[in-house]
Structures are given as C-alpha cells and as structure tokens.
Amino acid sequence: MLKKSLTIFVLLFVTTSLVLANTGVKVAKDIPVFKKQIAGELDPSKVIYLKTKPPKILGETVITTNYDYFSNSIIRDQIVYDRTTETPHLFNMVRPFNPAAPTIRHVVHSFKVSGDWVSQSVSQGSTSNNAGGWPSIDLGLTGLSLKGTVAMVFHTTNRLAIWNGSTGYNYTLFPGGDPLDPTLQIVGDKMFMASSGNRTQYYFFRSDDLGQTIVRFDSISRWSPQPIFYKANGVVEVNAAKSANERFFMYLGANEGGVGSTQGHIYAGWPKDSADNVWIIYSTNGGNTFQGRSIGWDGEINAVPGYIQGYAPLFENFGQIDGAIDNNGKMHVVANGYGLRLEIINDTVYSRGSLFPVLYWNSQLNTWKALTYIHPTTGVRLDTIQAIGSYYPTNAIGQSYPSVSVSPDGKVVFLMWTGPQLTATGGLDTAANGAATPVMYFWRDLYFTYSVDGGNTFKPVQKFPECENDKSETYGHAVQHLEKLNDTTYRAHIVYLADLTTGVGPFDNVLTDNPIVYTTYDIIAPVQTSVDDPNVVNTFYLSQNYPNPFNPTTNIKFSIAQKSHVTLKVFDVLGREVATLVNEVKDAGQYTVKFDAKDLPTGVYLYTLNAGDYSVTKKMMLVK
C-alpha cells in the first residue's frame, strides 16, 4: 500500500553555546563554543579527505554522509517505525547525496522495500549548498485520514510537500516565509508544527486539512509572564512529542530570562518568575486546548534531590531536551544536565567545577533525577570528569543529545544519549581530528538506561553494545514509542551516526564517509501480575477482576498515583451503565472494590477506571 508523506522546508542554522568558568561568580554564557566555517563556505582546496578502512558496523548501514553532524541544540525525531508494514523510516541530513555535487547538503528519506534500503533526497534538485538540514519525521498512528502518513520537516525553502508514496512531492507554501528550525507531530487528523520564528520567538502552527493549508495559531509570548516567563528564545529549536493513542501532545523547549552574563540564573538572584526556564505546553485532548508550565530553572542550586551537593543545572545553555508521552498521559522529559557545582560564601557564589549528568523528569514524580555512567573497572564517574569542558566537540558537552522513548502502556522508559569515550583507566579517550591545524577532541560512545516501573527507578547506565574504539558513535536516538513484542519484551528502533573522526568534519574541513546506522535493542521487563506487583507501585493501574468468570461477586483492584477524582463504572456490551462502584476523590494508593452482579443477567461486561487523565477499560464475564 502506498504511503503519504509530508515535508516542510525551512533554512539553515549554526548554534552558539556556553564556555564555562570554574573559579568565581562570572559564569559566561555568550561565548561561542567554536568559530568555524559554515559548511556552505568550505574552500575545496583546503578540505582534507581522510582515507579510512570500512568500519565494522553491527547494525545496518542505511546511507553514508561526510556531513557528520545531526543536530543543533536538540535531536528531533529522525526515525519512526510503522508497525503495520514493519517498516522503519529514517530522515537524515546527508552530504554528498549526489557525488557530482559534494558540497550540496540534502535531507534524505530512507525506508525498506523487500528487505532493501531505498533512499531518496527530498531536497534533490536544489543548487544551494545548504539545501536541507536539521530534519524531523513523524508517523500518523490513529487518524482517519492521516494514519500511516509519514511526515517530514527540515531547513530549506519555506514550503510543505506531501509525498505520494513513491518519488513525487506536491508543494504548499508555508505562511509568512517562516519557519526556521521546524518540528512536526501528527495528532489524529491534525498536524502540529513549531519553529524558532526566524530566531525571534517560538511560533506554533497547525494544519487541519492534510497539509493543504498551515495556520500559525500561537506563540510562546502569549504564555508570558505566567505560567511561563519568556524574554527570548533560549535554544533555537522547539521539540514535540505525542502519545501513541494521539490523545496527549506537548511542545517543549527553553527560554532565556534576564539579560547579562548570568542570563537569568537562579544562583545570581533571579527569581523563578523571570529566570531561564524549561517549559512544556501540553494538551490532554488531541490538541483542542493547551496548558503550560515551567519544569526547570537555570542555576537552581540543589534542584535535583539526592545528587551531588551544590549542583545547579544550566538547562538553557545546552538546551538538548527531548520528550515522550505514554497513553496514560504521563509526560517524560530528558535533558543534557550540564551544570555547575556551586558554593555560596558570604553572599558570593563560587564555582567548584562542572558536572555533566543526564537529567530525567516525569509529570508524576514532578522532580528531576540525575543519571550517569560509572566506569565498570575503575569506578570513575563520567559526570565529574573536568576535562570534558576542554575537549568536547561542538555542542557534545558531557552526556549530550539525550532522547527518551516510552512504551504505550507507560511501563518501560528508555533513555539514550551521546557521551565521551573512556579509556581502560577511566580517562577521556582523545585524539587529534586530522585537520591541517589539529584540534584535540574526545571520541564518543552511545550510552543508555531503562526503567521497567514507569520511570520510578532506572537500571545502571550502560555503554551501547555496538560501540567500538575506532569511531565515534553519536546522536543515537530511538523512536518515541517502544514496540511491544510480547508480555515481557519491548523493542527500541534506533538510528545513530558512526563518525570516523573525533571532530565535526564540515566545520574542521575534515571529511570522512560516515555510516548512518539503523539498529534495534530489546528490553526485557517483568510481567505485571497484579496491582501488588512492586513495578506498579505509585502508578495508575487497573487489574483484571478476580475471579473471572464470576458468579455473582468479583473483586476489582486499582492503584492511583496521585490524589484524583476517581470513577469506576460498569457497562454492558451496548455501552449502557449498569453500576457505579466509585465516584469520589481518592488519595494516592491501592484499592480493592467488590462488585455484586446478583441482579444482572449472564454476559460480558466492561469496567472503566477514570482518574485524572488516566482512563482504561477491561472486560469481565458473569456466568450464572
């Protein structure tokens, strides 16, 4: 069956970020991380092509690129998996797609046909050196008209294109010559988009007619000063996520607060209502209405319970933020946790070094957790290595470019990110990048962890099994929604770049032919047999009634993660309500309700639990 695809065209971006100071209150923010040429300005006479042996790749090489750079400040989705057709779709920035034009950069859609990868440039035919980049892809899951549609957005001319399932694209102009830095998600039969608003302010767009027209319906400034304080774009891109049932949706990003060298950091005296902040704007009804809130603030000392004393995250400086939502409406957010270890003495703030964790938050816990890799033989903590601040390539400071994926049922949460490669003794594994004037960078590896209790606890962080020492495995991320293979196994579909150099080639005039790799990782999770299972403590859950079949009484167990108005109702197969077992506000906890069906005839009945945004229905059988 032919698939539809949507593509939106926008323009190129080069980011700047923080260089950190370790000794006093002046923690600079506005110094560029690097001063290098834009790819379109390469002087061919100075480009160095390194001769390398073909790398050993454990996954599937989809396509190669000498533009070994995936993202600016975030990694928007670059892979989706169509469970109906068992087809992965990748959308990546590639150069050279056309060997006759080695400086032309394209965005390329890759997918499998009869077991073979097919790649086609969505921006093929453009003569601009920066013809495409910074891609984002999504797949319609539930809509009557958009289910199965693969949609894509990226930098280049301001147009939208619908893929016809083979090679053609039908174009529609984007309104107002915008956006830059786009993001896209399909929610039912709507398409929601976001942009940086030409780097001026974040804008939000939607299309309700399959992409024929696009309307800008909102901007970040409308949410300021409450509930989200906004003064300027904190990072260039907005990210977005949805639940697999496409009921829940959110935008997420970061804003700058005050101005000056400390840019609205809490430790410098900025209050939360005007400080740099991480924000979410979310919908619980398929994008019909939205709510907003801030979930993190730059420079808030000891904002992460149980982590190193004095730690103050600086979310907005390296605003690498990603999100996912499960079908229960629980929102999951992960961030590059680069920050400072601060001490206040006589009202003066001193930096005692830098810290580099990954940070995780969900809307149930409503607090941040710090995660890090610990070297298995030396015990060295990756998040405390100070040399990271001297040898990181571009914006890959610390444990960078994190992504989060979640199973639709909310049970499994999978986190993946790029981090420094460590030596056998736990030090940074560094090398020169091969440029005419060599620069030292650390090699990189992929790291991951996962939770099988909805994000309450996580397994120890591991290095991804496909990582090897002769290349940098970078920019790894998985599809938003994990595939459930059976009752105990969940699969992450993953894309990453196997970079054969330590630096970023186009910016260093060092080019290698680097594989873009597709692979999978399977997670084994225990079966939840009852509401008393420790894996579901502090989560919303409805168990199967017991006994079942029953005559005439049965017990129904459920758990509530937070204080909520709860209803538990029974319906017949025609949808008629036959009993209300619970209709009241309940505190978080586990409950058992007895259902007596002595006045009902034999048959199948449905029972539905509603608690806040959580809703689930199960069947039971009455046999008399």
pLDDT band for 608, please (50, 70, 90 cuts): confident
Predicted confidence at residue 170, as pLDDT, reads 61
Average pLDDT over residues 248-271: 87
Q: With 80 as the cut, is the pLDDT of residue 503 above it?
A: no
Residues 577 and 440 in one domain: no
Average pLDDT, the chain: 83
The CATH number for 582's domain is 2.60.40.3080
Phi, psi torsion values for 389, nearest 5 degrees = -70, -10
pLDDT band for 177, please (50, 70, 90 cuts): low
Spatial separation of the C-alpha atoms in residues 33 and 389, rounded to whole Å: 10
Task: Tokens for 442, please give them.
Answer: 């650390």
Domain that holds residue 82: 5-13+21-524
The CATH number for 39's domain is 2.130.10.10
pLDDT band for 2, please (50, 70, 90 cuts): very low
State how far Cα 240 lies from the chain centre: 8
Average pLDDT over residues 567-596: 89
319: Cβ contacts below 8 Å, ≥ 6 apart? 73, 74, 234, 235, 253, 254, 278, 335, 336
In this predicted model, what pLDDT tens digit does every residue of 539-576 receive, in sequence order? 677 888 888 889 999 999 888 877 888 999 998 877 78
Cis amide leading into 96 (omega within 30): yes
Q: With 50 as the cut, is the pLDDT of residue 226 above it?
A: yes
Q: With 90 as the cut, is the pLDDT of residue 169 above it?
A: no
Question: How many residues make up the chain in this entry?
Answer: 624
Predicted confidence at residue 11, as pLDDT, reads 28
Predicted confidence at residue 140, as pLDDT, reads 93
Provide the domain count of the chain. Answer: 2
Residues 546 and 432 in one domain: no
Predicted confidence at residue 38, as pLDDT, reads 28
Residues 275 and 415 in one domain: yes
Q: With 90 as the cut, is the pLDDT of residue 342 above it?
A: yes
Q: Of 524, 552, 572, which residue is a domain's last?
A: 524
Query: Which range among 39-48, 202-211, 610-619 has the greatest average pLDDT?
Result: 202-211
In this predicted model, what pLDDT tens digit does every residue of 443-461 receive, in sequence order? 999 999 999 999 999 999 9
Predicted confidence at residue 588, as pLDDT, reads 81
Residues 468 and 547 in one domain: no
In this predicted model, what pLDDT tens digit does every residue of 269-288 receive, in sequence order? 899 999 999 999 999 999 99
Q: With 60 as the cut, is the pLDDT of residue 404 above it?
A: yes
Spatial separation of the C-alpha atoms in residues 178 and 198, rounded to whole Å: 7
CA distances from 147 to 246, 251, 491 (A): 11, 21, 21
In this predicted model, what pLDDT tens digit does every residue of 414-437 receive, in sequence order? 999 999 999 999 999 998 887 778
In 3-state terms, what secondary structure has residue 365?
A: coil
548 lies in some domain: yes
Residues 519 and 545 in one domain: no
Residues 593 and 616 in one domain: yes
In this predicted model, what pLDDT tens digit does every residue of 99-111 receive, in sequence order? 777 778 888 889 8
530 lies in some domain: no
Sign of CA dihedral 139, 492, 456, 320: negative
Q: Of 490, 524, 558, which residue is a domain's last?
A: 524
Predicted confidence at residue 319, as pLDDT, reads 85
123 vs 531 pLDDT, higher one: 123
Share of the chain above pLDDT 70, in %: 82
List for the chain the helix, strand, coil content (%; round to 5).
Answer: 5, 45, 50
Of 1, 5, 291, which is closest to residue 120 (Cα–Cα)?
A: 5
Terminal-to-terminal C-alpha distance of the chain:
48
Q: With 90 as the cut, is the pLDDT of residue 239 above it?
A: yes
529 lies in some domain: no
